[in-house]
Structure 1
Amino acid sequence: MKICIFGAGAIGGYMAAKLAQAGADVSLVARGPHLAAMREKGLTLIEHDRDPVTAPVRASDDPAEFGTQDYVIVTLKAHSVPPVVSRMQPLIGEQTTIVSGVNGIPWWYFHKIGGPLEGTRLESVDPGNAQWDGFGPDRVLGCVVYPAAEVSAPGIIKHVEGNRFSLGEPDGSKSERALALSSVLGAAGLKAPVRPQLRDEIWVKLWGNLSFNPISALTLATLDVLCTDTGTREVARRMMVEAQEIAEKLGVRFPISVERRIDAGAAVGAHRTSMLQDLDAGRPMEIDALVGSVQELGRVTGTPTPTIDTVLALTKLRAKLAGLYT
């Protein structure tokens, strides 16, 4: 089985390191100093309960070097994917599966969902239908990413917590391709359950990303603060309630309450969200995938989103003033 990870940052690098250590046929598409370090010294993984392990890996900034793959696992930020769909084409053959390990509402969300919204496209996450047309929705296998990791230095991945990558077919089936990938990831020490209702997991994770991320970018607060401060907790709660109304119209069931989800965020402690980290580092933030997509789904389902609209407008302007959103 040939696996290419496109976007070998923290999450992609963590997965690649585990696969490489297990002897899997894995390659990485990366760039810059991180790529140079991996080529020269291999990919090092630091886990809290183990000594650092370095494994040789095949890495390049040119996907054509690797040829057709069985699986292409996309671990880029959501806004970075549409511009590089054409670059991925040398990796894609007739039997290639695209594994979408990207935060937010996925571009394939309405593929095989059934009902009147079947085949609906989302401009906020797939402008110009770049992924829908360039990959084809029948190739996609969904993935909800739970681990936390960071690139501590070029070629070095520090694993913080979590090792689950939930997989799911758009139609909810336990397909051969999903089970095969789950087995390979499991052999590498990763949890990869195949879920019949992956969209439910997408929304539970999105609940936090939708609210905590933009609020942190606006206030610079860590999770423990914004989830316990009376004012910001209420803003997050209202955003989640609006999102829940949208999701339930789409058939999603939430296994926990809004209050428990916010309490879980507070329990993480003094964590800086990914959007706050991107703001501090001068990197584009995942505003459209995490917040704009929910606003768009509100329009699709006829659901008012006044709090989401307000926070989205403020976050966009914050990012524009920092030169991080156009």
Structure 2
Amino acid sequence: MRVCVVGAGAIGALLGVKIWHAAGGEHAVTMVGRAGSHLSAMQRDGLRLCGESVADDVSASGDNGGEICMRTGERNAAFFSSLEDVPQKQDVVFLALKENQLAQIMPGLPSVSHAETVYVTLQNGIPWWYFQIYSGPNEYANKVVESVDPQGVLFHGIDPCRVLGCVVYPAARKKEPGVVEHVEGIRFPLGELDGSHSERAERISQLLVTAGFKAPVVEDIRSELWLKLWGSLAFNPISALCHATLGELCTFPPSRELAVRMMREAEQVGIALGASFRVPLERRLDGAASVGAHKTSMCADVEAGRPMEVDAIMASVVELGALTGVFMPSVSAVYALLQLLNRQLDQGVSFPAVPAPLPDPKM
């Protein structure tokens, strides 16, 4: 199988290296990343993946060093800065970019696509295709989610019949150019937009399972997206605004109560759109709390001086709340604060990293 990962950041790197390593080079894996120090390091020295789970994998396989390295020139491994440079058509393209970056790579997709190429979407929050091939309330079918897809560029430019939805649960981070650490998590549930159990979904699921991930094919990918977004909508903003870890914000009573209110509001929107929530709210909170001293991706963006992924995670839900007539006072208030914080980041204001607190010796 020919596999292309567009977006060589933390999650894209995790997928690409693990797929390539597990197959022993049998699958041709191409990484496409933005020109810069990270891509240069990968092209020069290879893409290195480390972390406890990786150390376990290489130990079990008899490898040494506690990391996996995928290098240019090794069997079926390649790195490029644009899709147009990829020399062959691909069987599956993992779109591991933020949603606001996807329009930039759309012109290059035809150059790597044949008639059966599948696009697996890995974006956080509400995706542009949410109301395409949609079986929820009829009045919402084929609506464009403007907050994530202004003017419907993705909606009209990418064939939804090629799309396979996927929810990203793992956490990973870029340690230095060319080096990515797998922090925790291995779940990538995926599904067809129409809820069918297709051969291609099973094939891609097996590709991910062989690479060491849990990738069940689910019948309702939109409900699975809401389950992830349900927590991200609350945990990410609170963590970013307060430089707090998941353990802190989910166990400190005032911030936990705020998270509950935000999640209740979002739940009403999801239900109005036909989604279901298979995990109780308190269990979702407790699961996040159990992760402990881990900062969310939004918090990491703030401390690195990068603009946050606000539109897909928050603006989209506010938009859908207005569409369904759901009153969302807590979500709207936190969204306003997050917009201001993003504006400060755009203006170059820095927010240095705050170390995670040491355990309380009295506890």
**Bin for the TM-score computed over the shorter chain:** over 0.9
1:216 aligns with 2:239: yes
Shift of residue 324, structure 1, vs aligned partner: 6.6
Give the 3 Å change call, closer, same or farther, for CA 163–132 of structure 1 in structure 2. same
Give the 3 Å change call, closer, same or farther, for CA 324–272 of structure 1 in structure 2. farther
Distance 1:189 1:225 in 2: 30
Aligned residues: 325
1:28 aligns with 2:31: yes
When normalised by structure 1's length, the TM-score is 0.95
Map residues 1-326 of structure 1 onto 2, 5 A cutoff: 1-21=1-21, 22=23, 23=25, 24-31=27-34, 32-48=36-52, 49=56, 50=58, 51-56=66-71, 57-66=77-86, 67-114=88-135, 115-323=138-346
* Unaligned runs of at least 5 residues, structure 1: none
Distance 1:320 1:47 in 2: 34
> For residue 138 of structure 1, what is the amino acid of its counterpart?
C
Q: Deviations over 1:91-120 (max 9, x none)?
A: 233322111011101111111222221111
Match of 2:353 in 1: none
Distance 1:160 1:111 in 2: 33
SS of structure 2 residue aligned to 1:93: strand
Shift of residue 295, structure 1, vs aligned partner: 0.6
Give the 3 Å change call, closer, same or farther, for CA 223–324 of structure 1 in structure 2. farther
Distance 1:309 1:47 in 2: 37
Distance 1:190 1:223 in 2: 23
SS of structure 1 residue aligned to 2:346: coil
Shift of residue 53, structure 1, vs aligned partner: 2.1
Match of 2:63 in 1: none
Report if aligned partners of 2:188, 2:215 keep a CA contact under 8 Å in 1.
Answer: yes
- Residue identity over aligned pairs, in percent, reads 45
Q: Deviations over 1:166-185 (max 9, x none)?
A: 11000111112111111222
Q: Which runs of 4+ in 1 moved over 3 A?
A: none
State the structure with more CA Rg: 2
Shift of residue 10, structure 1, vs aligned partner: 0.6
Distance 2:280 2:185 in 1: 22
Distance 1:302 1:228 in 2: 31
Distance 1:211 1:154 in 2: 30
Give the 3 Å change call, closer, same or farther, for CA 324–143 of structure 1 in structure 2. farther
> For residue 7 of structure 1, what is the amino acid of its counterpart?
G
SS of structure 2 residue aligned to 1:94: strand
Report if aligned partners of 2:83, 2:105 keep a CA contact under 8 Å in 1.
Answer: no
Report if aligned partners of 2:133, 2:160 keep a CA contact under 8 Å in 1.
Answer: no
Report if aligned partners of 1:146, 1:164 keep a CA contact under 8 Å in 2.
Answer: yes
* Unaligned runs of at least 5 residues, structure 2: 59-65, 72-76, 349-363
